[in-house]
Structure 1
Amino acid sequence: MKIINIKTKLSKKTLIILVLAALIFIASFLLMLPDNQSKGDNFYYIGVATTFNHNSSDGINDMIQGIRLATDRVNQSGGINGKQIRLIVQNDKNDSSLAMKIASDFSKDNRILLVLGHYYSIPSLVGGDIYQKNAVPVITASATYDEITKENEWYFRTVPNNSYYADFLGTYLGLNLKQWPIIIISDSNNYHQSITRVFTKTIQKYDLEIIKQLTFNTSRSDVSPQLIKITNTIKMLNQKSVIFISANRPELVELVRLLKSSPQKYQFKIIGTDTAATTGFISELSNFQREQNDPGYYSNDTLVIVPSIPGIGNNKSFEFYKNFNETFNRIPSWAAACYYDTFMLSCHAIENAEIENEHGIRSIRRKIRNALIGFYDNKHAFKGLTGNIFFDEKGDSNRTLILGHYKNRVLIPEYVQYQRKHDQNLDSKAIKKALDNEIVVVDNTVLNEKKVVYTNIQVLSVEKFELKTHMASTVDFYLRFRFLGEFDDHNIRFDNTESHVSLGNPILETKENGVTERLYRINANFKYRSYFQSFPFDKHELTIKFHHNRITNDKLTFAPSITVKDIQLFDGWKIHSQNFSIEQVEDETIPKLSVIKHNLYYDQVNASVTLSRELNGVVFRYIFPFLTMFLLLYGIYFIPIQRFSVIICIISAVIVLNTFHYYKMLSFIILPSIVNAEKACFFIYSLSLLLFFSSISISVCHVKKQIDKEKMLRYFGIIGYPVIVITFVAISLWGIK
């Protein structure tokens, strides 16, 4: 009976200890969680007015997802002034009445600091009057109708307006497709006619021939027969031409389908507005059988003009498209990128407005509007992933656009682009440059021609590197350039190498329709970047970097890609990931002030391959010894204390094994800092000491006949040891990515 009572009492004590330990663990875990939920209503609210379909992969959903991606980034970084951002999203369904109601609701909501939207122009136009009357700052990154920002000091736009789009596109055709006559198709409403008027005026300035100008009326119920008649008229012309279409998406999709459905007896190029660059355009074309059987049948070679295209731009652009694809498992349209930028710009404006101690929503909104006005020129612009954003006196942002065309449903940039000139002052050489088409003027903005060179790096093999002595590895790869016209690739400079690397002569060169393709094979030592902190799950990033050392990034950029198919690696390693991007660099030999003044920056291609260890090799070579030592030490709690000599032998064996394993690993790691593997070794030393003193304590209790304490110490060890080990492993793995 006495033994039973002791066991019962012991079980109660053990239960109390376990409950207390569990509560402490849960409380500690909750305290370690990020503080995403602020106390009270400690948030900044932003209204989002859009048009969307929950079941659609439309560009309008790109708007929402782009904003949410930006919101997550800001909130994870601590928010603004310590406050998290919350979105209030409303769907105007592209309906004027509903847009007015949403604008009124947003204006009355004293939580909302500013509004992003609306997506379409008509809701933006009708909502604009309400926002203006109630002094609410609004920013759109998609509604391009000129009238939206006219005489409305509260409405801002981060993309060019229709006039700029049309002028830019007409200028491009005048400079690059001068021999092609033009056919213009447009809706008869005011919105599309305003685009057509500017476009027509611009191409006439370049003496381009307009062979036909056709319109249709969507206010009539019989739109389809009108579109069929238009396409039949064009086919009867039987003439090489550029077909410019200004239409809403349903009519645009139908016109493209009709034009490309019958066999082409003549060559033509279709050019659309930004509507043709949305995911909805491709999605609707994909409903047709021919497009399903042959992806790109309808969309291939369709030219568009947009603020952003994947595969070209600054480092932020590459990072955004990569993150978006990883998050939503698809490539977005320009709308996602533009609204991401617009949200980030809004956050900067809120921060610059210094509203922490401000009372009254009207004064807060006015200060935010004034902060937006602070982005007034290129020097004071917001530097986003789509480029520099700043507003003119109308609240517009008429900035650089990118020309691209579809290939297999994916937008790729044209070989020739036009970028805002760093120095807007025209010098004595300006006339000659203008005659040579090196510079052009669009809407009082001076642009210079910029060449795009497609670049592909195909990695063939990576030789084994020595972790202790040699922070570089020999890489064998093909380097391919594809460009229009001329390109001096002999001035390509490789960075991140141990010694100078020369391209030499190309092993293959082809020319077709003015496009040259050159192929080089390079074998050189490139330095790598190592992440030893997570050893033995460490990664090593090999990066091939190069830039042109003569042509600055206002005249030359690259559209990079990397191929690692069938790459030869050394045993025990595998490809973990691959990445490519463009980075802005400068010549370190030139003074910084001169670099800034004359914009002496270069676009550098970064193509990287990250290697990681094969999992099976890691487990057996590095993890298994640790696991064995953990289990040996844990087994001590199940050995009778009478066999104390066996316990001492096990602890001694673990210490010797741990020391041997530690020094063996040192031969593989450069140790500028403590890595996880090293921490594990010291952790085992600590566990060995813990088990040693724990065993002595249990032995003392046993000798003194203190059975309750002896059993409590043993049970505490049986339960506590795994908790300690699991906690250590969890903390160690937390930082491994």
Structure 2
Amino acid sequence: MKNKIAIIIAITALLILILYSLFFLQTTLFAKDKIYLALVGPAKTESGQSIIRAVRMYLENINHEVNGKKIELFYYDDIEDEKSAEETALKISNKTKSLLVLGHYYNLTSLAAGIVYKRNGVPAITASSTAEEVTSNNEWYFRTIPNNRIQAIFIANYISRILKKNSVNIIFEDDDYSLSLFSNFEKAAMRQGIAIKNKWKINTSQDEDNISLEPILKSLSGGEVFFLATHASLGAKLAISLKNTGKQFTIFGDDEFSSKIFLDKLKEYSEEGKGIDYYSDGIYCVTPYMSAIASDKGHQFEKQFISTYGKKPSWEAACYYDAVMVAIEAIKRADIKGTRYLIENRRKIKDALDGFFSPENAIRGVTEDIYFNRQRDITRPYSIAKYSGKNLVASFVQYRTVSQETEDSEGLFEKIFKGEKIIIDSKLMKSTHIVNTWIDEIDFNNIDFNKSFCALTFNVSFRYANNFNFDSAAIEFKNSLEPIILGKPVSLSKNDIETTIVYKVNGIFKLMVDYSSYPFDSQTIAIRLQNKRDTIDKVIYLPDELKNKVTLSQNSIKGWDIKSQMIFENFSTKESSLGLPRFFDSKYRINHSLFNIEIQMKRKLYVIILNLFLPIAALLTGLYFALSYPLIFLMVFLGTLSYHLYLLFILPCNYIMGIEYLIFGIYLLICIFLLRWKFTNHGGYS
């Protein structure tokens, strides 16, 4: 009996051990470790949703995997509250296996959470909080957006060097964000030689409706410059008050003025009979990212975002796309272990982020190349935007970071004085002129897809700042078969700020024809122009954002419908040593801004029926009757061969077209039917 009990106990223990191995050890020893990331922000707001979409899109692009480990992303909403942000940070630090945090969105929530992350050793990356203190006193916090100090210095440089103003009035709030902008701007203005005429601090702890602007407005005269270092709500109120004086002021706002909230507040505060367009028109502001002047990688990001979500990405989406990209690159380089080594893994990722400290090991992001300084910040120019009505468009002069290796140091101080170059935190930035370009009233004089050319007549317009030296002789049409010279303009208009010039163009352009899907193919007619002398760091040809649609003449496009049209800017590239010995072995890439219009065309339905369905239907019908009348096989074969040769004659290409697979199928059917007929009528071969 005792032996039986011992055997039963042994068998039971063995079964328990087997079950434990199957269900528990499998999940711990043999299961693949996951990488956990946390994303924190105002999840219910439009900005928060845009951030979530961008981060999710990047992770989907890499298949939610890095170094063979699956990535799992958790979302947390700190409800824009410091206490909630602190509690969320504690939860992430102590109760989750998150290796890194993306966020928080606001300055106050980032500062509150940052204390917790520093204490618990959790790396975090923000792409929206701009307060210097977020990263300066916290070695665990990184930022992929320029901070308030950079923003203020940049605005002061722009007012002085580009707008050529030597005095300014400042209005700011009494909170940390505005005070930071104000103090940094004041210091930068002194260095630029800008006189601070007046400065007003507004106590927003009062009821906003009771804030009195009378003392400010009474002391004003026209032509003055105002820097509004405020949040969007007060900024809208101030802009309306300044506009209502009827005097002409230059208003320059901070990055809050580029937000949708600013326009919403303008609409809320606007007087009856005066819309948003009246109050917003002419206001300058900065934004961390602007798709119109983005890099090629930025254009790819925007295109994918629109394709995936059906709307344009916000600046927050672009910046957090970069943030998660940097996070993943750090994880790749950190050589992390399993989830049991959480503290060690977090430290390794933080060290990997510290490793992105120079242009040589920078991450090429959507906004710009990303690498950190000693304060774990980045230094790059903001985009300068200006409202045209309620539309935020790129200002005529932008700055871009350039390599000091490729820049001639001769005359540097003179160029800085002229505003052609500025230096912020030892980073050289070069002014780039924006030429708003548009092509309209396109006439299709002759289109020959078989010979891959089209003859077009159209108007091309250029809109640029009055101080820009526009040279029509430098304009080159990249895909024209013969050189096109812009002659005398058909119209020229000018106001105090800008010039618009229009030329009539006649030219023959090369087509890139693709018949692989014939007759369901789409063909593209493109016009591409660039400046053959000045590179992209000097001039950018942007699609004019004040235009919306290209006018096309369809009279001579027989057999075709217009499917879509795309107008965009990218760049063309060539390699050169620049005459510098250090580039003799590895060529330097020279980029020219390239303006493009692409008109996609599809064949009309009747053309598809005539070219595909009727011939194929006739051949298949003949094949059916050939089963009863064998001589028809010869007619079907000759008909198929003739149709095939006809297609090869009218559609010259050195690859197999889609329709040829159908023809090959008919050849195969002819062979099968002949064999069937042979065996059926003669009982096989003798």
TM-score by length of 2: 0.85
Matches within 5 A, 1:99-114: 99-108=85-94, 111-114=97-100
Which ranges in structure 1 are unaligned for 5 or more consecutive residues?
1-38, 637-642, 702-737
Instruction: Quote the Cα distance in structure 1 between the aligned partners of 2:455 and 2:346.
Output: 58
CA distance in 2, matches of 1:650, 1:288: 82
User: Larger deviation: 560-569 or 62-71?
Assistant: 560-569
2:55 is matched by which residue type in structure 1? Answer: I
Contact 1:594 1:600 in 2 (8 A): no
| Match 2:234 to one of 251, 262, 267 | 251
Equivalent residue, structure 2, for 1:51: 42
Task: Classify 1:462/1:426 alpha carbon distance in 2 versus 1 (closer, same or farther; 3 Å).
Answer: closer
- Please, which of 313, 318, 330 is the counterpart of residue 337 of structure 1? 318
- Distance in 1 between the 2:627 and 2:147 partners? 85
Residue 473 to residue 416, structure 1, CA distance change in 2 (3 Å): same
- Which residue in 1 is equivalent to 2:55? 67
The aligned amino acid for 1:61 is Q
**Inter-CA distance 467–432: structure 2 relative to 1 (3 Å threshold):** closer
Whole-angstrom distance in 2 between the partners of 1:453 and 1:256? 28
Q: Is the 8 A contact 1:231 1:258 kept in 2?
A: no
Do the aligned partners of 1:186 and 1:196 also contact (CA within 8 Å) in 2?
A: yes
Could you tell me how far 1:657 is from its partner in structure 2?
Answer: 4.2
The corresponding residue for 2:296 is: 315
- Say yes or no: does 1:581 pair with 2:568: yes
Q: Measure, in 1, the Cα distance between the counterparts of 2:585 and 2:480.
A: 24
Note if contact 1:153-1:395 (Cα within 8 Å) is conserved in structure 2: yes
**Contact 2:575–2:587 (CA<8 Å) still a contact in 1?**
no
When residues 455 and 354 of structure 1 are mapped into structure 2, their CA distance, relative to the original with a 3 A threshold, is farther
**Structure 2 unaligned runs (5+)?**
1-29
Percent of aligned pairs sharing the same letter: 27
Give the deviation of 1:90 after TM superposition: 1.1
Do residues 385 (structure 1) and 372 (structure 2) align?
Answer: no
Are the structure 2 counterparts of residues 322 and 160 from structure 1 closer, same or farther at C-alpha, using a change threshold of 3 Å?
same
* Post-superposition offset of 1:361: 2.9
In the alignment, residue 167 of structure 1 is paired with which amino acid?
I
* 2:666 counterpart residue number: 684
Correspondence for 2:507: 524
1:707 is aligned to none
SS state at 1:311 partner: helix
Aligned residue type for 2:248? Q
Give SS of 1:502's match: coil
**What does residue 134 of structure 1 align with?**
120
Q: Aligned runs of 1:262-341 on 2, under 5 Å?
A: 262=244, 264-287=245-268, 294=275, 296-341=277-322
| Other-structure match for 1:612 | 602
**Match in the other structure for 2:347:** 366
From 545, 549, 570, the counterpart of 2:532: 549
Change (3 A) 1:438 1:259: closer
SS at match of 2:448: coil
Summarize the alignment of residues 575-724 of structure 1 with structure 2, pairs less than 5 Å apart: 575-588=562-575, 593=583, 600-627=590-617, 645-646=627-628, 648=630, 654-690=636-672
Letter in 1 for 2:628: V
Q: Deviations over 1:633-687 (max 9, x none)?
A: 7xx6xxxxxx995275776665454333322322332332212111121123334
Q: Residues 426-468 of structure 1, C-alpha deviation per residue, up to 9 Å, x if partnerless?
A: 8352222223332222233332222111111225123444344
Deviation at 1:116, TM superposition (A): 1.3
Q: Aligned to 2:442, which of 460, 475, 483?
A: 460
Partners of 2:585 and 2:419 lie apart in 1 by: 25
Deviation at 1:109, TM superposition (A): 5.6
Shift in alpha-carbon separation, 1:659–1:44, aligned structure 2, 3 A: farther
Asked if residue 511 in structure 1 is aligned to residue 497 in structure 2, the reply is no
Counterpart code for 2:133: E
Offset at residue 152 of structure 1 (A): 1.9
Deviation of residue 180 (structure 1)?
6.7
- Whole-angstrom distance in 1 between the partners of 2:134 and 2:602: 53
Asked if structure 2 preserves the Cα contact closer than 8 Å seen for 1:59 and 1:332, the reply is no
C-alpha contact 2:171 2:226 (8 A) present in aligned 1: yes
Selected match of 1:161 from 129, 147, 150: 147
Displacement of 1:571 after TM fit?
0.6
Structure 1 pair 695–499 and aligned structure 2 pair: CA distance change class (3 A)? same
Residues 576 and 590, structure 2, Cα contact 8 Å, conserved in 1: no
Q: 1:678 to 1:258 in 2, by over 3 A?
A: same
RMSD over aligned Cα, in angstroms? 3.3
2: CA distance between counterparts of 1:71 and 1:608?
Answer: 31
Q: Could you tell me which of 373, 389, 400 is aligned with 1:419?
A: 400
The 8 Å contact of residues 316 and 385 in structure 1, kept in 2 or not, is answered as yes
CA contact (8 A) 1:248 1:275 kept: yes
CA distance in 2, matches of 1:474, 1:40: 63
Q: Is the CA contact 1:286–1:292 (under 8 Å) kept in the aligned structure 2?
A: no
- 1:170 is displaced (CA, Å) by 1.1
- Relative to structure 1, the CA distance from residue 125 to residue 551 in structure 2 (aligned partners, 3 Å threshold; closer, same or farther) is same
Measure how far apart 1:488 and its partner are: 2.3
Are the aligned partners of 2:40 and 2:77 in contact in 1 as well (CA < 8 Å)?
A: yes
| DSSP-derived class of the 1:124 partner | helix
Q: 1:208 matched to which residue of 2? A: 194
Q: Please state whether the residue corresponding to 2:138 is helix, strand or coil.
A: coil
Q: Tell me, yes or no, if structure 1 residue 451 matches structure 2 residue 433.
A: yes
Q: After superposing the two structures, state which structure 1 stretch, 284-293 or 209-218, moved more.
A: 284-293
CA distance in 2, matches of 1:558, 1:596: 28
Once the 2 structures are TM-superposed, how far is the Cα of residue 281 of structure 1 from its aligned partner?
A: 2.6
Structure 1: distance between partners of 2:271 and 2:574: 51
CA contact (8 A) 2:447 2:557 kept: no
Q: 1:15-49, CA deviations, whole angstroms, 9 ceiling, x for partnerless residues? A: xxxxxxxxxxxxxxxxxxxxxxxx97675432211
Taking the TM superposition and a 5 Å limit, the aligned residue runs for 1:416-495 are 416-423=397-404, 427-458=409-440, 460-468=442-450, 470-484=451-465, 485=467, 486-495=469-478
CA distance in 2, matches of 1:681, 1:369: 61
Give me the whole-angstrom Cα distance separating, in 1, the residues matched to 2:65 and 2:606.
42
Change (3 A) 1:535 1:328: same
Residue 120 in structure 1 maps to residue 106 in structure 2 = yes
1:586, distance to aligned residue in structure 2 (A): 3.8
1:538-587 CA-partner distances (Å, limit 9, x unpaired): 12223322322322222222212585323334111122222233333344
Cα distance in 2, alignment partners of residues 51 and 514 from structure 1: 40
SS in 2 for 1:667: helix
Q: Distance in 2 between matches of 1:292 and 1:94?
A: 35
Matched, 1:571 2:539: no
In the TM superposition, what is the alpha-carbon distance from 1:480 to its structure 2 partner?
Answer: 1.4
In the TM superposition, what whole-angstrom CA distance separates every residue of 1:308-353 from its partner, at most 9, and x where no partner exists?
Answer: 2132232222333333334434333311221222223333333343
Residue-pair matches, total: 644
Closer, same or farther: CA 319–668 of 1 in aligned 2, 3 Å: farther
Tell me if structure 2 keeps the 8 A contact 1:183–1:243: yes
Is the Cα–Cα contact under 8 Å of residues 180 and 240 in structure 1 kept in the other structure? no
Evaluate the alpha carbon distance shift between residue 289 and residue 164 of structure 1 in structure 2; reply closer, same or farther with a 3 A threshold.
closer
SS at match of 1:143: coil
Kindly tell me: are residues 247 and 541 of structure 1, through their superposed partners in 2, closer, same or farther at Cα, counting changes over 3 Å? Answer: same
- Does the residue aligned with 2:278 lie in a helix, a strand or coil? coil
Match of 1:194 in 2: 180
